[in-house]
Chains A and B, each alone.
Chain A
Amino acid sequence: MTRQASTLDQRLLTEAVRFHEDASGGVVDDTIAEGLAREAGGDFEHRLIVRARSLTITRSIADALNQLRASLRLIVAVALGLAAIAGAGAARVALGAHADTPVNVFWVLGGILGPHVIALLIWVGVMFMGSGALAASSLGGLVFAVGRRLSYRLHKGPAHLAAIRATLSVYAQTALGRWTISAVSHALWLAFLSAALLILILILSTKQYSFVWETTILSEKAYVALTRALALAPEALGFSAPSVAQITASQWPAPGGAPAGADKAWSGLLVGAILVYGILIRLVLMIACLIARWRAIARFRLDTSALAYTRLYSRLMPGSASMGVIDPDDEASTKPAEHCEPPPTPMRADAPTAIVGFEIEPPGSSWPPAVDHIDWLDLGIVNGREDRDQALQTLRATPVRLVTLVCAATATPDRGSHAFLNALQRASEAPLALVLTGGQRLRERARGDDVQQRLADWRRLASDAKVPEERVIDCDLEHWTPASRERLARLLGATISTKSPSSRIQAAFDVIVEHVARWTHQPEMSEQAELHRAIAKLYQNERDIWQALLPQRAKAAGNVTDQVKASADRMANLLPSHLRANPRWLTAGAMAGALGCVAAATMVAPAAITALPLWAGLGSAVSMAVSGVSRKTQANKNDGEIPHDYGTAVSSAALFSLVLELQGHDETVITRVLEQVIDDDPVIEDADSARQWLRVLRRRFDSAREDEARP
């Protein structure tokens, strides 16, 4: 075998492996073979071949390919034999059994050359039509069809199937198939014609025939011209041919008997014509097809864009590889130099309170934030070295009662911030408080876990610097509310008037009871949405804050469904863990989030929610979001059937009111309060039971609030 043929075999084998893998459910994971392929180097195709060769399944596939090849060879050999027999038969039949009756010379020629010429014309035609037509309408195609059917009948199994499919697809999709089939066709005709010629010569050598021609409608002239034209090529090669006189004389019935020597001339023409117009043409074409096939083999490459190959690309031709750790972490003192702990100094009530912003965005509201009874010493917002030095200098010069450091929650607490904190502590004896602003922006950027992680990182930074935990708060100065002002004031130790707890929560609960009284059946999603909107209206003034709590992106291009979904997720995450495990509360939480998002979206519209044109989309979005959240967490709890009463609807509305009331606190506080307030699974059938349950909730809420307010 030539080198090229062997690489054709390898490529075929690779294709067959691919078909086998496709059929058996995807690429085989064979790290050894992949490693060998990577080591082999070269282009992608070469690596594919090496991998295919090294797989364990390859052996059986290679055997199958060999068997297929063998059966195809056998079929071709048998077909050649059959063609030869057919050719011999054709010659025999064309000459006729009886030598004493004159033989029509054109019938003999037609009988032997006719089928060949017709087949040749068809071949020329289909060569322009593609390999499919060729396979269907040529002897070679027929042979292959029989061959693969035979192989399929003889050997069953995935390896053989893959071998057949691979061979077929390679032959069908490249020029290889066309030229192979053509070459086999020509070879078969060559066998046919050669055998015919041999028999013809044999018979003519041993028997005496007299050749004639006859016609009813054609003129003698036409026959003379036809014969001379036919004779042209054979004569050039030295074969004898009848002269004009001999031709004229051979017309049947011969007026004067066949002239002497005419039969010999006629048989010379017969032999010459078959040789020239049959055998030579087929021989030349066969050689040409073999050359074309050889070139097709040389050109044949695997189609590496095939999906199965592309999936292997990254494994065999890795675009990147890690070089490993080059300069390892030596665990040296990563901590900046420890500084001495500041002596606990009592707050000097008369001194001002220093405030310094560290690398924060100047808040939209006033700087420094206005807090009742607080006299600020404003050190400004520190952005660089100069600002920093100046702030520290001022602080060193002025005695203060407390240093308030405002940092951005979006920033990563790094050694730079640590160093600044330490510098502040060195510059002043006053205790330090840390305020994290920009919490909302952080929540927009990151997911729940990351938010908690970031806040914890800041708290760790503070505790490393011996700042007590209660003096670190998450308080967004960009969204300044009465609640946050109260919290900041408490942090700063300013005396604040204890306001009576808001009566708004009572108003919200009243709204719920009012709606429940109106319901006569299980409330529709839109009716629940109306209820949530009514509650939301009570908190309209702080709308931008609670909309931020639910991740309500103000982006116009935002995807409503995703907002609703995110909001449902958010609210469900606020639930304390024991409630999250309860399917009703999980659903209620998701519903509160989803409908809260809807309430925010429809706040401005005075119309009934059902009548809103966007409701159709929102409604489906809500039900998807709710079912999404509930399904995800209770996948393994199928026993959690939710009873059919107003319980879920009321729980959702109550939860929504509580969260709105608690806005401005950070998430852990909200969750803690909810944990104290909600502990049961309400059964609510009418307005009375709703009122009763909400009354209990209210009482617990007030006491939880008082607990939280206590330092």
Chain B
Amino acid sequence: MSLPVLKVAVVGHTNTGKTSLLRTLMRDSSFGEISNRPATTRHVEGARLFVNGAPLIELYDTPGLEDSIGLLEHLDDLRDDRRATGIQLVERFLDSPTAQGEYHQEAKALRQVLASDTALYVIDARDRVLGKYRDELEILGRCARPVVPVLNFVASPEAKTAEWREHLARINMHAVAEFDTVVFDAYEEQRLFQKIQTLLDPFRATLDAVIEDRVQERARLNHASADRVADMLLDAAAYVVIVPADDEAKNTAAMAALKETIRQSEQRCVDALLELHRFRVDDYTAKALPIDEGQWGYDVFNTESMRQFGITAGGGAAAGGMAGLAIDAITGGMTLGAAAALGAAIGALVGSSSSHGRRLADLMRGHTELRVNEATLRHLAVREISLVQALLHRGHASQERINTPDKAAPEMTRWTKQRLPAAIEQARSHPGWSRLNESSAGIFGEDAGRRTAKAELVRVLEAQFARKPSPASARE
């Protein structure tokens, strides 16, 4: 397969987010340098987009156009005969000494436009259509290359999208893309590629391949995230610690240990998700990451935080160290209250699992089982789901912190109020399913029941991720 490589120059006024656009398209938050200051990028820097290992698009980040009013005046000064076309004037300018001096930054950008197949003109849609922007468009219009205006920051409430579209239509630019380098929208990205397609037919197949690849990439991310979160939830749901019922000190220590294990398990999940979505904890974005220094700000057992997510935090009995935990006690072998105990009994009778038998024996000897309670499971689920949703909608140029979702987020009630998915409830009575239970780590790999339950949970989670988060949690 040898599709033609599309060369794209990314141009625009200074500090409108050209490098950010590249980062987002590249899914690489380490490309170039971004700041809120003028002229951060002072050179032309290239990047390739690969599909299945083959480079299909070359993107060029250029220095910002800063003084277009002056440059346009200068271009008009160069017009010495009436018939000189726009492109001739631009070429004349690039050969002139001013292209090395006062306007050398603009010259770099224009030279790159001429060397490319198309130009993306990045616009900060929060600004009005000022004279300098009109002049920039006028200069780009003289470069004899198709230009696709890209409205950045459209997710901002200040965005003047309609005003910009009206002006662009007036100067015959109808293929306008909307894009937000901070709030990522896969659909808009696809539309951006399609807009380029409408202007550049020879590259139709190239762009089709890129679009298809992006769709697959997203599905892959969705699936892998669901897989990771499902594992963590099943591990937490099935996790059981058995302690002697009457030993206060051991109980307290066990509670602390259980909580620590759950915390670490969640942290591993968060690390994996960040890595999966290619947001590195150690690079500069860390200071603005979701979760301070790559961690959730609030403990998973924090009842305040649960309430915030709209989760009813456990019964009144949960006090002190017991917050977020549940206990299955057995006194004299008669009050096998929980279904878990019944499951243990059946399991022991059938003899399908040796761990069941041990559990029953432990319970009979007056031990108690410690586990996380339902509210904690809901909390874990909601936290990780909202993290994944936020990551899926986060541009790789975003420097903002990811917000915790509003408790009113309607798509979350499935996790905060309704019955938890059957797979999680099943896991409650299968300690062997938790990879956190050391003794139960079956040497022969994953239990078939767990595999089925996990597949089911992954399906539920994937459907959840595919939903768009409510605006409050997506936007800063």
Listed in ascending order, the chain A residues whose CB lies under 8 Å from chain B are: 19, 26, 41-43, 132, 148, 152, 161, 164-165, 168-169, 172, 305-307, 310-311, 313-314, 317-330, 332-334, 336-337, 359, 361, 382-388, 410-416, 418-419, 441, 445-446, 450, 453-454, 457, 555, 557-559, 561-562, 620-621, 623-624, 628, 632
Q: Which 7 A-B pairs have the closest CB atoms?
A: A384-B131, A323-B46, A320-B26, A310-B224, A327-B44, A329-B42, A414-B66
Given known pairs A327-B111, A361-B128, the reply for A310 and B221 (CB within 8 Å) is yes
User: Which residues of B sit under 8 angstroms from A169, Cβ to Cβ?
Assistant: 445-446
Which B residue's beta carbon lies closest to that of A623?
B304
Compute how far the CA of A269 lies from the CA of B50 in the bound complex, rounded to whole angstroms.
70
| CB contact list, B56-72 vs A, under 8 A | 58, 60, 63-64, 66-70, 72
Find out whether the CB atom of B220 lies under 8 angstroms from the CB atom of A313: yes
Q: Does any Cβ of A come within 8 Å of B105's Cβ?
A: yes
* Besides A314-B27, A384-B131, 6 other A-B contacts (C-beta < 8 A): A148-B444, A164-B444, A320-B26, A412-B37, A561-B308, A632-B292
For A319, list chain B residues within 8 Å (CB).
26-27, 49-51, 213, 217
Question: Mind listing 19 A-B residue pairs with CB under 8 Å?
Answer: A26-B268, A168-B444, A172-B445, A307-B276, A310-B223, A317-B53, A320-B26, A322-B31, A323-B46, A323-B47, A326-B44, A329-B43, A329-B63, A359-B130, A384-B69, A384-B132, A413-B38, A441-B158, A453-B36
Knowing A441-B158, A557-B471, the reply to whether A328 touches B43 (Cβ < 8 A) is yes
B-side contacts of A446, CB under 8 Å: 36
CB of A388 within 8 A of CB of B444, answer no
> Does B403 have its Cβ within 8 Å of any Cβ on chain A?
yes
B residues within 8 A CB of A457?
37-38
Residues on the B chain within 8 Å of A168, using CB: 444-445
User: Quick check: B45 and A323 within 8 Å, CB to CB?
Assistant: yes
- CB proximity of B165 to chain A, nearest CB, Å: 19
* Docked CA distance A168–B444 (Å): 7
Residue in A41, A326, A445, A628 whose CB lies within 8 Å of B297: A628
> Who on chain B is nearest to A316 by CB?
B53
B58 CB, nearest partner CB in chain A, Å:
7
Q: Given the known A-B contacts A320-B49, A384-B69, A623-B304, are A334 and B105 also in contact in the complex, defined by CB atoms under 8 Å? A: yes
A19 to B445, CA, bound (A): 9
Question: Which B residue sits closest to A387, measured CB to CB?
Answer: B131
Q: Choose from B35, B36, B52, B275 the contact partner of A317 (Cβ within 8 Å).
A: B52
Q: Which residue of B is nearest A616, CB measured?
A: B307
User: Is A416 a contact partner of B67 (Cβ separation < 8 A)?
Assistant: yes
Tell me which of B15, B45, B135 contacts A322 (CB under 8 A). Answer: B45
Residue of A nearest to B271 (CB): A26
User: Considering the chains assembled together, what is the distance between the CA atoms of A621 and B223 in angstroms?
Assistant: 34
Chain A contacts of B1 at CB under 8 A? none
Q: Is B298 an interface residue (CB 8 A)?
A: yes
B220: nearest residue on chain A (CB-CB)? A310
B134 at the interface (CB under 8 A from A): yes
One digit per residue, 1 when the CB lies within 8 angstroms of any chain A CB and 0 when it does not, for chain B 152-183 equals: 00001110000000000000000000000000
Give B residues with C-beta under 8 Å from A. 13-15, 25-28, 31, 35-39, 42-53, 58, 60, 63-64, 66-70, 72-73, 100-102, 104-105, 108, 111-112, 126-128, 130-132, 134-135, 156-158, 213, 217, 220-221, 223-224, 227-228, 231, 268, 272, 275-276, 278, 292, 297-298, 304-305, 307-308, 403-404, 406, 443-446, 448, 471-472
Q: Does the CB pair B223–A337 fall under 8 Å?
A: no
Q: B47 to A43, Cβ gap below 8 A?
A: no
Total contacts A to B, CB within 8 angstroms? 202
Contact of A310 among B72, B158, B276, B298 (CB under 8 A): B276
Contact (Cβ within 8 A) B224 A307: yes
Would you call A320 and B305 a contact (CB within 8 A)?
Answer: no
Asked if B50 contacts A321 (CB within 8 A), the reply is yes
A334 / chain B contacts, CB cutoff of 8 Å:
39, 42, 104-105
> B27 touches which one: A164, A306, A307, A320 (CB < 8 A)?
A320
Whether the pair A317, B27 counts as a contact (CB closer than 8 A) is no
Whether A453 contacts B37 by the Cβ 8 Å rule is: yes
Minimal beta-carbon separation of B37 from chain A (angstroms):
6
Residue with the greatest number of chain A CB neighbours at <10 A, chosen from B39, B66, B292: B66
Closest chain A residue to B292, Cβ basis: A632
Q: In angstroms, how far is the closest chain B Cβ from the Cβ of A162?
A: 10
How far does the alpha carbon of A387 sit from the alpha carbon of B156 in the complex, in Å?
29
Q: Dominant SS at the B interface?
A: mixed
Question: Quick one: which of B13, B46, B307, B444 contacts A324, CB cutoff 8 A?
Answer: B46
CA distance A643 to B134 in the complex (A): 62
Chain A residues, CB < 8 A from B445: 19, 164-165, 168-169, 172
In-complex Cβ contact of A325 among B44, B50, B272 (8 A): B44
The answer on a CB contact under 8 Å between B67 and A327 is: no
Contact B50 A318 (CB under 8 A): yes
How far apart are A316's CB and chain B's nearest CB, in angstroms?
A: 9
Indicate if the CB atoms of A555 and B272 lie closer than 8 Å.
no
CB distance A385 to B102 under 8 Å?
no
A321-B50, A457-B38 given as contacts; is B221 within 8 A of A152 (CB)? no
Measured between beta carbons, the chain A residues less than 8 angstroms from B25 are 320
Min distance, Cβ A659 to any Cβ of chain B, angstroms = 24
A161 to B444, CA, bound (A): 8
Compute how far the CA of A99 lies from the CA of B5 in the bound complex, rounded to whole angstroms. 88
**Across the interface, do B36 and A384 meet the contact criterion of CB distance under 8 Å?**
no
Provide the bound-state CA to CA distance between A453 and B40, in Å.
Answer: 13
**Docked-complex contact A414 and B48, CB < 8 angstroms:** no
Q: Which of B47, B305, B471 has the most chain A CB atoms closer than 10 A to its own CB?
A: B47
A550 and B231 CA atoms in complex are apart in Å by 42
Report yes or no: B64 in contact with A385, Cβ–Cβ below 8 A: no
From residue B221, how far is it (CB to closest CB) to chain A in Å?
7
Q: Which residues of A contact B130 (CB under 8 A)?
A: 359, 383-384
Cβ A414 vs Cβ B67 within 8 A: yes
- A326 near B472 with CB under 8 A, answer no
A305 and B223 form a contact (CB under 8 A): yes
Inter-chain contacts of B472 with A (CB < 8 A): 557-559
Report Cα–Cα, A361/B64, bound state, in Å. 22
Residues of A within 8 A of B276 (CB): 307, 310-311
Write out the residue numbers on chain B whose beta carbons fall within 8 Å of the beta carbon of A323. Answer: 45-48, 58
Max count, chain B CB within 10 A of own CB: residue among A19, A320, A387: A320
Residues of B within 8 A of A413 (CB): 38
> Which residue from chain B places its CB closest to the CB of A329 in the assembled complex?
B42
B60 touches A326 (CB 8 A): yes
Closest to B473 in A: A559
Residues in A whose Cβ lies below 8 Å from that of B53: 41-42, 317
How far apart are B299's CB and chain A's nearest CB, in angstroms? 11
A19 to B48, CA, bound (A): 33
User: Which residues from chain A contact B101 at a C-beta distance below 8 Å?
Assistant: 332-333
A453 to B223, CA, bound (A): 41
- Contact A383–B131 (Cβ < 8 Å): yes
A161 pairs with B443, CB closer than 8 A: yes
* Cβ-defined contact, B304 with A415, below 8 A: no
Closest Cβ neighbor of A384 among chain B residues: B131
What is the minimal beta-carbon distance from B65 to any residue of chain A, in angstroms?
Answer: 9
Contacts of A359 in B (CB 8 A): 130-132
The answer to whether A414 and B26 touch (CB under 8 A), given A307-B228, A384-B132, is no
Write the chain B residue with the least CB distance to A168: B445
Measured in the bound complex, the distance between the Cα atoms of B206 and A606 in whole Å is 64
Closest to A323 in B: B46
Most buried by A among B60, B72, B131: B131
Contact A559-B228, Cβ < 8 Å, known A41-B53, A310-B221, A414-B64: no
Contacts of B73 in A (CB 8 A): 385
A165 to B443, CA, bound (A): 8
Whether B39 contacts A414 by the Cβ 8 Å rule is yes
In the complex, which residues of chain A have a beta carbon less than 8 angstroms from the beta carbon of B403?
559, 562
Task: Determine the residue in chain B with the shortest Cβ distance to A310.
Answer: B224
Q: Which residues of A contact B38 (CB under 8 A)?
A: 412-414, 457
Closest to A631 in B: B297
Q: Is the CB of A307 within 8 A of B112?
A: no
Interface residue from A328, A412, A620 paired with B307 (Cβ < 8 Å): A620
**Inter-chain contact A555/B157, CB cutoff 8 Å:** yes
Distance of A580 from chain B, by nearest CB (Å): 17
